[in-house]
Structure 1
Amino acid sequence: MSFAPHPDRFTHLHIDLNSFFASVEQQLHPEYRGKPVAVVPTMTDTTCCIAASYEAKALGVKTGTQVGEAKKMCPGIILIEGSHTEYAKYSQAINDAVELACHVSHNPSIDEMCCELMGREQEPPRARKIALEIKQSIYKNVGEALRCSIGMAPNRYLAKIASDMQKPDGLIGLLPSQLPKAIAHLDLRDLPGVGARTEARLHAKGIRTMEQLLALDLNGMHKLWNSVWGDRIYHWLRGGNTGDDGAPVSSDVQKSLGHSHVMAPEFRSDEGAWAVANKLLHKAAMRLRMEKFYAGSMSFVIRYQLTREQAEQLRSKRHNSGIRHSGWGMEARFRESQDTLTLLEAMRGIWAQRPTGQEFQRPFFVGITLHNLVPENRHQEELFGDPNNRTQLSATMDKLNLKYGHTTLHFGSMLPARESAPTRIAFTQIPVQYGVDYM
């Protein structure tokens, strides 16, 4: 394995869709184009924007801006409740459009694609031609409101950095002969993997600028990160290839899966929270079977909104929506299961032990996570089988729900929240289609 930089070639393209969720809405609704748009999880002032169009960003609205503040910054802002299904469809359509110009080798998130260039494709003029063909393919085959920024570089890590250097609709290339000088002007937070906590740790060690970071030799970078990660970054920033090329390290077996939801005001009661929890469990159990796992435990989390007086009396936390809250959670273990009825019984046992008291009267957030996942091929069947045919019941439910939609057949306890808690897309979650729905 060689860490020496490549000749002046690009080995990777990184495609970053610009303001993806908001751009999809502007594609679906031409009347929104050229206007400030923000996508929100629910229509409440206390939640946060999960995406903003460039017109909204120009006025200071960005991902994480509280909706109430966004309205003050931009009184005419158009708020849209996000649609998991539409974003998943467009993500796949864009992936298909990119494939027409260059093979997609990796999907880091719903709004990013990576392409690995081969042979003469790596020559800068050809790489640039491919990048422009990708942009044109998205425009022609998916929609004119959808734009992307593309980074070209001698490794995936630098290609990701380059894709963020010019937005919207950018195209930046970083050649080995230009490095590391070409990135010396960036901030530390512009490096993938450097968030607020890592930045603070670097500051504590005397590294506050990119110039200071780039001035370190290989040994200094290793000591700074106190791991081989420092060695990798040293080589990546200079155009080298360490073999893994910035790819995330995945575990052998998935450890958990689940869903959470900030409830709309009409569900912020015990009855509403229980119904929403049933909806979340219904989806998690179906995913468990679709992904061919059994679960051995479940964690249940509830967060309760506090009044101002309660928040002052208690050491409360602040949710990212701005709500001051207390929280409660519990985990239950059980025999390895994947049928909905068994999992529902486990959740009912946890629910019965939830706290009471004045600070636990207004639930606004519920989360369900299934842990200790075991692949089906490693699961040991019960000695006496399944006398109540619960597995067959779940299989029948799945068959109908895959064909007609995942809420077609369900247990009655979920009925009040049947249309609530729609599946949300995190930027790092790649949507998967099960039957007619994306989850």
Structure 2
Amino acid sequence: MSAPRWIAHLDMDAFYASVELLRYPELKGQPVVIGGRREHQPRPGADGRLQFARLRDYTGRGVITTATYAARAYGVRSGLGLMKAAALAPDCVLLPVDFEAYRAASRAFKAAVREIAPVIEDRGIDEIYIDLSELAAQREGVAHDPLGGLKQLAQDIKNNVRAATRLSCSIGLAPNKLLAKIASDLDKPDGLTLIRPEDLTLRIWPLPARAINGVGPKAAQRLEDLGVQTIGELAACDPAWLVQRFGKAYGLWLHQSAHGLDERPVQTHSEAVSISHETTFERDLHAVRDKAELGRILTALCEALARDLARKGLVARTIGIKLRFEGFKTVTRDQTLARGVQELAEIRHAAGLCLKRVDLSLRLRLMGVRAAGLAPVSSRATGPSPELRGAAPKPVTAPLFEPTNPG
């Protein structure tokens, strides 16, 4: 008989903010948001003590990357505009984002988990799934708690993460990934929550439908408009009724998820589908009046893309752009090439070909570049891509922004 299936979802608690509190322990317990710019770096005051920027002093279009739990008590949360957050909690400390520090902490906590449980699925910088089935079978429980060994295994992982990083995490334990993901959020911070199939009606069904990973804001609102607010109410819906309103695939998935059904395995490796970089401007930029600045931003984005491709040993057959205009209209364009590219000049030139197919008469508030159709460098065909043939790619400093007719 195979071992019972036990999946853990490990989620670092307020990850970016917690990393910053290691650097600035004097901020512990205070409302802190992460998402500022370089100029919001703390600076020594006249008395030698660090002076921190406050939300009330922020101007611009930035959004919160994360916030401490003390800040969340004011209604401040990830994704909220910093100007809106300032209206809610003007005295919150504002810190700039430091992705290098967060990536280092991410590598450290994942290495600490692998020391105990090596079968993990990387889901991002601050969360992983862990298959504990075999390891849990080796841990004995006790008469009054047959799952005590499983819970001790999860606690050992939490302890190892804290020893390696000085950070806390929350772990959800369940028979599958869907329930484990929900469970990890139930007792934050520093939680350890176990959900068994028999716990579904008491622990899961009272939760809002949006607690299911995969039910986004639009689907949650549509369900609410249909009178379905909780997971339990979703579970009671006729599958045919859900299919009629949400389509066959999503409707059936909603029904299965509400009943806690999920057979997805923990995937220890997955290939990148695409790589992208984007930035939101502090002010709207115009293709003519701000041509030089837009050109520099595009080059920087393409440079970041080229570095990622080189580091991963990949080439891209498709280069795309994403533009968001005033009024929040978003446009994307892709250029598929005959062979994979990796060099900055080729990436930027392909992005320029995409730009020629966009009406740039409106002011821009966001720009992004994307590489897709990824393959190992060894699979790259020789010779220049026909799209780039006939002349050397434009120098990376060449201006590419001119108002054009849409293609």
Aligned position for 2:165? 142
Which residues in structure 2 correspond to 1:26-105 (within 5 Å)?
A: 26-40=21-35, 42=37, 44-105=59-120
For residues 240-296 of structure 1, the C-alpha deviation after alignment (integer angstroms, 9 at most, x for no partner) is: 563x2587997xx75533211123569983211111111111121232344344334
Q: After TM superposition, give the deviation of residue 164 of structure 1 in Å.
A: 1.1
For residues 357-391 of structure 1, the C-alpha deviation after alignment (integer angstroms, 9 at most, x for no partner) is: 5x43xx4422112344454454432399x999x99
Question: 2: distance between equivalents of 1:206 and 1:248?
Answer: 39
- What's the TM-score once normalised by structure 1's chain length? 0.70
Q: After TM superposition, give the deviation of residue 126 of structure 1 in Å.
A: 1.0
Change (3 A) 1:56 1:282: same
Which of residues 142, 157, 162 in structure 1 aligns to 2:178? 157
Please give the secondary structure, in 2, of the residue aligned with 1:208.
Answer: coil
Which residues in structure 2 correspond to 1:269-288 (within 5 Å)?
A: 269-288=290-309
Q: After TM superposition, give the deviation of residue 95 of structure 1 in Å.
A: 1.0
Question: 2: distance between equivalents of 1:367 and 1:26?
Answer: 31
Change (3 A) 1:103 1:224: farther
Which of residues 121, 131, 148 in structure 1 aligns to 2:154? 131
Q: After TM superposition, give the deviation of residue 186 of structure 1 in Å.
A: 0.5
- Structure with the larger RCO, 1 or 2 (CA within 8 Å, 6+ apart): 1
Cα root mean square deviation, aligned? 3.9
Question: 1: distance between equivalents of 2:245 and 2:195?
Answer: 25
Which of residues 316, 340, 353 in structure 1 aligns to 2:344? 340
Question: 1: distance between equivalents of 2:127 and 2:268?
Answer: 14
State the AA in 1 paired with 2:212.
L
Which of residues 182, 189, 195 in structure 2 aligns to 1:174? 195
Question: 2: distance between equivalents of 1:164 and 1:40?
Answer: 23
Does 2:284 correspond to 1:260?
no
Which residues in structure 2 correspond to 1:153-232 (within 5 Å)?
A: 153-203=174-224, 206-216=227-237, 226-227=247-248
Question: 2: distance between equivalents of 1:135 and 1:54?
Answer: 19
Moved more, 123-132 or 230-239: 230-239
State the AA in 2 paired with 1:339.
E
Q: After TM superposition, give the deviation of residue 47 of structure 1 in Å.
A: 1.5
State the AA in 2 paired with 1:413.
T
Question: 2: distance between equivalents of 1:353 and 1:115?
Answer: 45
| Contact 2:109 2:161 survives alignment (8 Å) | yes
Aligned position for 1:413? 397
Does 2:19 correspond to 1:14?
no
Q: After TM superposition, give the deviation of residue 177 of structure 1 in Å.
A: 2.6
Kindly, what percent of the aligned residue pairs are identical? 24
Which residues in structure 2 correspond to 1:239-250 (within 5 Å)?
A: 242=263, 244-245=264-265
Change (3 A) 1:368 1:130: same
Q: After TM superposition, give the deviation of residue 202 of structure 1 in Å.
A: 3.1
| Contact 2:174 2:183 survives alignment (8 Å) | yes
For residues 312-350 of structure 1, the C-alpha deviation after alignment (integer angstroms, 9 at most, x for no partner) is: xxxx22xxxxxxxx6665444544233322333334455
Question: 2: distance between equivalents of 1:160 and 1:147?
Answer: 17
Question: 2: distance between equivalents of 1:179 and 1:107?
Answer: 26
For residues 219-257 of structure 1, the C-alpha deviation after alignment (integer angstroms, 9 at most, x for no partner) is: 777667544565566556556563x2587997xx75533
| Contact 1:180 1:238 survives alignment (8 Å) | no
Please give the secondary structure, in 2, of the residue aligned with 1:263.
Answer: strand
Gaps of 5+ in 1: 1-5, 306-315, 318-325, 392-410, 415-439
State the AA in 2 paired with 1:263.
F
For residues 187-211 of structure 1, the C-alpha deviation after alignment (integer angstroms, 9 at most, x for no partner) is: 1011111112222343455533322
Question: 2: distance between equivalents of 1:202 and 1:75?
Answer: 35
Q: After TM superposition, give the deviation of residue 218 of structure 1 in Å.
A: 6.7
Change (3 A) 1:245 1:234: farther
Question: 1: distance between equivalents of 2:177 and 2:320?
Answer: 36
- What's the TM-score once normalised by structure 2's chain length? 0.75
Aligned position for 2:53? none
Question: 1: distance between equivalents of 2:109 and 2:195?
Answer: 24
For residues 69-119 of structure 1, the C-alpha deviation after alignment (integer angstroms, 9 at most, x for no partner) is: 222322321111111111111011111222333334212221112221222
State the AA in 2 paired with 1:142.
T
Please give the secondary structure, in 1, of the residue aligned with 2:397.
Answer: helix
Question: 2: distance between equivalents of 1:227 and 1:173?
Answer: 32
Gaps of 5+ in 2: 41-58, 141-145, 399-407
Please give the secondary structure, in 2, of the residue aligned with 1:40.
Answer: strand
Question: 2: distance between equivalents of 1:266 and 1:356?
Answer: 12
Aligned length in residues: 363
Which residues in structure 2 correspond to 1:342-421 (within 5 Å)?
A: 342-349=346-353, 357=361, 359-360=362-363, 363-382=364-383, 413=397
Change (3 A) 1:224 1:13: farther
Moved more, 49-58 or 282-291: 282-291
Change (3 A) 1:301 1:235: closer
State the AA in 1 paired with 2:28.
R
Question: 2: distance between equivalents of 1:94 and 1:240?
Answer: 29
| Contact 1:175 1:239 survives alignment (8 Å) | no
Question: 1: distance between equivalents of 2:337 and 2:360?
Answer: 25
Question: 2: distance between equivalents of 1:134 and 1:412?
Answer: 47
Moved more, 255-264 or 278-287: 255-264
